[in-house]
Amino acid sequence: MTRSPEYNPGIARLKRPSRDMRVLLLHPEDTPFDRRWSASHWDLIVDLGWAGRSQYQVWTKQLACPVRALFGFADWQQDVRQIQQMLQLGNGRLVDAEGIDWWALLAPGAFQRFYEFWLLQKLAREIGTSPELYVTRAHPWTETLAKLLGTKATTLSGSPQNGFASRLRRYRTALRTLTPRQLTMIAGDKWDTDYRIRRFLATKRKSEPGAKVLLPSAYRNVSRIAVSYASLLPKKSFLLVTTRADGFLANLPRNVQAVTLAAYAQVPRIQSTEREIAALSARWKVLKENLQQAQDPALTYAAGLFADLPRALRNGLRIRDAWRKVFERESISAVLCGDENNPYTRLPVLLARKRGVWTINCSHGALDITVMLRGPCADVYLAKGEMEQDYLVEQCGVPRERIFVGAPPLECRPARESRGTDIVFFSEPYELYFGRTETFYRELLPNLCEVARKHSRKVVLKLHPFESARARSNLVDHVLAGSDRRLVEISAEPMSQRLLQRTWFGVTVESSTAVECAVAGVPCFLCGWFDLDLHAYGKQYQKFGAAQILDRHTDILRIPDSLGLAPRPEATERLHHPITPGDLKTIMQTRDIVQA
């Protein structure tokens, strides 16, 4: 990623004052300019959210105090090895009767929280000992940092009930913005993980003779890519088994049947599994005690992260039994998995390999760093192009001989008869990593509107499926006014050929939509100043010509001058190289394709 000349990626040591340092932790919901704390003197302000690199330079100047983000201490290439070691500290201790290591399966799901702790350790080393520590309002990271520093934190606003009030606000927001279907699905995910209720509501499927390729899925995007591969082999039978309602697709090809995993849930519970649950929970208790007694604060922290592990084991082993029943009832010849990161769709891959069933991975996104965090699971990996192959080898450590380049058929055709008419910003739920979305929109949208006005265009704010149209509309109303607001259209439509045909150029942070734009011949630009750069996705996109990284928000104004640099056909081939039905058939059924 390109950076502004004044940006120093290194972590410079702070100049120590003669007295104890006064450090302010800024809650993601607070602004640094609130008079309750901006009127005081601080030696360091640490944002527990993320506002983008350029904002911290502005805030530092305005407040006459160093302002940094916790995520600004990240250095992916160095940090990831430490995180991997932390994720492996319980390997081999919670292995079930199928040989599945449940620590290895579940622990990577806490990757972000491990990473947050690693960054807090870096911050503690930077601050030193005995600081005066303050936080604008209660935040879960505060207590951890205070322990690392050997001090206590003073909260400047809110009350002990503030945490409950915050949760209540989130619940009210969810009720206002989510559809009944989404709320039902969330309730099932949270309170009926092991299908104890949904198993009675699921439509039972009569097993049919003949070999089938299993397509496990939890999300629509995963189902789409798996089914798109299946459409290339109309004479071969496929079985789409969804762990959640969101994985269901309508209008499936004739060779693909669909069923929910709840239909295979065991009634009554299997007693041998219940004994396994008790045994693994007892082993976890011993492991947890060992971690808590260790001198390393990282191990003590890890023990606290997995307080709910017995529940995860109970639900997980019961879901494992449902997948077992799939293999018992159905004649499964291979497994084609589009999401090994999800533990519940990774389970059938692990079970298949134990049974000698051939397994293939086809990532539903452009790139997937979780392959590195969890380790390769499937026998072979389908990469959609040279870019993904390079990432799997160089970043994730997958042996090259286990990777085959071959993309599914395109939903959005690359042909463009003429330039589109709209500027499309592909938004994302930045709040998932504590991003200050309003701050980002204030930098981005006015510049997009200025370009749109100058060139007689409009701006389309294309929402991610996890974003609420109502909430984003309210935010845009707050950020823009008058003629600028009238230039912006908010769209929740899925990615489609029609949307790409109307796109003059696309803008995003690091979304895989950049690759979809490039394959369709649409120029795309990445907001590099707001990218956390934790997984090097943006760098990989730029390396293979999928997008161009913008260093500053003002660079948006110069985008029209760069449109002659649209992706060339030879470049898009490196991003999306279609597989032939013959090659896919060979990969599906031939073990000899993997070299020893």
What would the pLDDT profile of 493-552 be if each residue is shown by its tens digit? 888 888 999 999 999 999 999 999 999 889 999 999 999 888 889 999 999 999 999 999
Average pLDDT over residues 131-142: 94
Is the previous residue joined to 9 through a cis bond, with omega within 30 degrees of 0?
no
Tell me the pairing of strands 132-135 and 67-69.
Answer: unpaired
- Residues 356-386: tens digit of each pLDDT: 999 999 998 889 888 888 889 999 999 999 9
| pLDDT(175) > 70 | no
Element spanning 165, H or E = helix 162-177
Residues forming beta bridges with residue 506, ordered by sequence position = 424, 524
Q: What is the pLDDT of residue 502?
A: 92
**With 60 as the cut, is the pLDDT of residue 463 above it?**
yes
Q: Of 160-164, 225-229, 276-280, 560-564, where does mean pLDDT reach its minimum? A: 160-164
Query: Average pLDDT, stretch 200-211?
Result: 72
pLDDT score recorded for residue 565: 56
More confident residue, 208 or 92: 92
The whole-angstrom separation of Cα 114 and Cα 298 is 9
Q: Does residue 227 carry a pLDDT above 80?
A: yes
Alpha carbon distance 167, 271 (integer Å): 38
Mean per-residue pLDDT, 107-117: 88
| 338-351 pLDDT per residue, tens | 999 899 999 999 99
E-assigned strand segments in 300-342: 332-337
Phi, psi at 433, each rounded to 5°: -115, 35
Q: How confident is the model at residue 596 (pLDDT cuts 50, 70, 90)?
A: very low
Does 226 have pLDDT greater than 60?
Answer: yes
Do the Cβ atoms of 46 and 26 come closer than 8 Å? yes
Which residue is it, tokens 């730029």?
A: 542
Confidence of residue 93 (pLDDT cuts 50, 70, 90): very high
* Confidence tier at 184 by pLDDT (50, 70, 90): low
Is residue 63 very low, low, confident or very high in pLDDT (cuts 50, 70, 90)? Answer: very high
Look at residue 3 and tell me whether its pLDDT is greater than 50.
no
Q: Sorting pLDDT into bands at 50, 70 and 90, what band is 9?
A: very low
Q: Give percent above pLDDT 90 in the chain.
A: 62
pLDDT at 301 over 70: yes
276: phi then psi, degrees, rounded to nearest 5:
-60, -40
Using DSSP bridges, classify how beta strands 403-405 and 332-337 pair: parallel, antiparallel or unpaired: unpaired
Query: For the chain, what is the mean pLDDT?
Result: 86
Identify the weakest region by mean pLDDT among 313-327, 411-425, 456-470.
411-425
* Residues 198-268+319-410+579-593, CATH architecture: 3-Layer(aba) Sandwich (3.40)
Mean of pLDDT values over 97-119:
92
pTM for the predicted model, two decimal places? 0.85
Give the HSE-up count for residue 522: Cα atoms under 13 Å, Cβ half-sphere: 31
Distant-in-sequence, close-in-space partners of 217: CB < 8 Å, separation ≥ 6: 223, 226, 240, 241, 242, 243, 247, 338, 339, 345
The Cα 252–Cα 584 span in angstroms is: 19
Kindly give, in sequence order, each residue whose CB lies less than 8 Å from that of residue 144, ignoring residues fewer than 6 positions away: 117, 120, 301
Task: Work out the number of other CB atoms within 10 angstroms of the CB of residue 329.
Answer: 13
Q: How far apart are CA 346 and CA 532, in angstroms?
A: 27
Contacts of 154 (CB under 8 A, 6+ apart): 132, 133, 134, 135
Options 3.40.50.2000, 1.10.1040.10, 3.30.1510.10, 3.40.50.10470; which CATH number does 422-568 get?
Answer: 3.40.50.2000
Taking alpha carbons only, the member of 564, 448, 587, 432 closest to residue 508 is 448
The residue with greater pLDDT, 6 or 183, is 183
Average pLDDT over residues 48-69: 94
Query: Can you tell me the distance from the alpha carbon of 488 to that of 504, in angstroms, rounded to the nearest whole number?
Result: 15
For residues 581 and 232, the answer to whether their CB atoms sit within 8 Å is yes
Give me the mean pLDDT over the 463-469 stretch: 89
**How many H helices and E strands in the chain?**
24, 18
Q: 6 pLDDT exceeds 50?
A: no
Residue-level pLDDT at 5:
32
Averaged over 455-471, what is the pLDDT?
92
Whether residue 575 has pLDDT greater than 70: yes
pLDDT at 168 over 60: no
